[in-house]
């Protein structure tokens, strides 16, 4: 079975502060992990994927297989980062499993 | 390039009825996945279609069924609606074989079952 856990339902930080959104997963195979984001009144969209090792909008995420984690980080949060963030795992049966999401609010 | 579209945007049905939701893939995409998103939850995978065949399925009963057409558009059918079927239904399209299987989501159809 594959499972994604996002322990924080809500996260509130001030502009300029570092932010870390936690994601832990359970999967017996080699995971492909993603972060999706949904801004207010917009559709769900891909933010980044672990295999690319890319930085999008200042966000990075490192896959830690030992801790089975894929936390999303940004050193200096901006107000426009306020959104719902979902961690997702792609399993071998093409099934994309999402966590319950974390609502990030960046206060001015 | 045309994005993923879904219809209708909202729908109200009563328990026991049947419903059909529609999705048009993004231009150039040949794979469609459907998700159910209950209030306060993340999207839950229902199934995926590729080459007009079901290609993977989540933990949903057989009364959830789908179709994919030659133009890659898709339908989600739900029979014998239950109150718990009330949710946002999301469709996502992708290109089979594309690295990392990035999925592009539609705006969703909000289904309310009374």
Which chain A residues have a beta carbon less than 8 Å from that of B108? 43
* Range with top average pLDDT, A28-32, B19-23, B94-98: B19-23
Distance (Å) of CA A95 to CA B34, B55, B66, B112: 10, 9, 16, 25
Contacting B with CB below 8 Å, chain A residues are 4, 6, 32, 34, 43-46, 49, 51-52, 86, 88, 90, 93-101
**Which residues of chain B does A89 touch, with a Cβ-Cβ cutoff of 8 Å?**
none
DSSP secondary structure string, B79-104? -S--GGG-EEEEEEEE-TT-GGG--E
Question: In the predicted model, is pLDDT for residue B81 greater than 60?
Answer: yes
What is the pLDDT, as a whole number, of residue A92?
A: 72
Name the residue with tokens 């009963």.
B61
Residues of A within 8 A of B33 (CB-CB) are: 94, 96
Separation of CA A79 from chain center: 17
Both structure tokens of A65: 């297989």
- State mean pLDDT over B64-78: 95
Mean pLDDT for chain B?
A: 93
A56/B76: higher pLDDT: B76
The pLDDT assigned to B99 comes to 55
Taking an 8 Å cut-off on Cβ atoms, the answer to whether B58 and A95 are in contact is yes
Cβ contact, residue pair A46, B102, below 8 Å: yes
Q: Distance, in angstroms, between A100 CA and closest chain B CA? A: 4
Q: Does B51 touch chain A (CB under 8 A)?
A: no
Pick B42's closest partner by Cβ from A43, A51, A100: A100
Angstroms from A96 CA to nearest CA on chain B = 6
| CA atoms within a 13 Å half-sphere pointing along the CA-CB vector of B52 | 3
pLDDT band (50, 70, 90) for residue A94:
confident
Mean pLDDT, range B40-44, rounded to an integer: 93
What per-residue confidence (pLDDT) applies to B100? 62
pLDDT digits (tens, 9 = 90+) for A41-81: 999 999 998 877 777 899 999 899 899 999 999 999 999 99
CB contact under 8 A, B40 and A100: yes
pLDDT at B21 over 80: yes
Nearest to A27 by CA among A76, A90, A79, A81: A90
Inter-chain CB proximity B102 and A49 less than 8 Å: yes
CB contact under 8 A, A51 and B108: no
DSSP string, chain B: ----EEE-SEEEE-TT--EEEEEEPPTT--EEEEEEE-TTS--EEEEEEETTEEEEE-S--TTEEEEE-TTS-EEEEE-S--GGG-EEEEEEEE-TT-GGG--EE---EEEEE-
Chain A touched by B60 (CB under 8 Å)? no
**Whole-number pLDDT of residue A45:** 93
């Amino acid at each position: 079975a594959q499972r994604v856990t996002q322990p924080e339902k809500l996260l509130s930080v001030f502009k300029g502060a570092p932010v870390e959104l936690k994601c832990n997963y359970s999967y017996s195979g080699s995971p492909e992990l993603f972060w999706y984001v949904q801004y207010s009144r917009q559709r769900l969209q891909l933010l980044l994927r672990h295999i690319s090792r890319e930085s999008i909008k200042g966000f990075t995420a490192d896959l830690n297989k030992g801790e089975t984690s894929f936390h999303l980080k940004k050193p200096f949060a901006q107000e426009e980062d306020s959104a719902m963030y979902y961690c997702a795992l792609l399993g071998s049966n093409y099934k994309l499993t999402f966590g319950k999401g974390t609502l990030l609010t960046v206060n001015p | 390039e045309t994005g993923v579209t879904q219809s209708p945007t909202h729908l109200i049905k009563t328990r026991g009825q049947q419903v059909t939701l529609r999705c048009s893939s993004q231009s150039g995409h040949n794979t469609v996945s459907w998700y159910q998103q209950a209030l306060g939850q993340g999207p839950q995978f229902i199934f995926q279609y590729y080459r007009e065949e079901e290609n993977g399925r989540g933990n949903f009963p057989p009364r959830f069924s789908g179709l994919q057409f030659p133009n890659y558009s898709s339908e989600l059918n739900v029979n014998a609606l239950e109150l718990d079927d009330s949710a946002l239904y999301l469709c996502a399209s992708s290109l089979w074989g594309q690295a990392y299987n990035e999925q592009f989501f539609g705006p969703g159809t909000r289904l309310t079952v009374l």
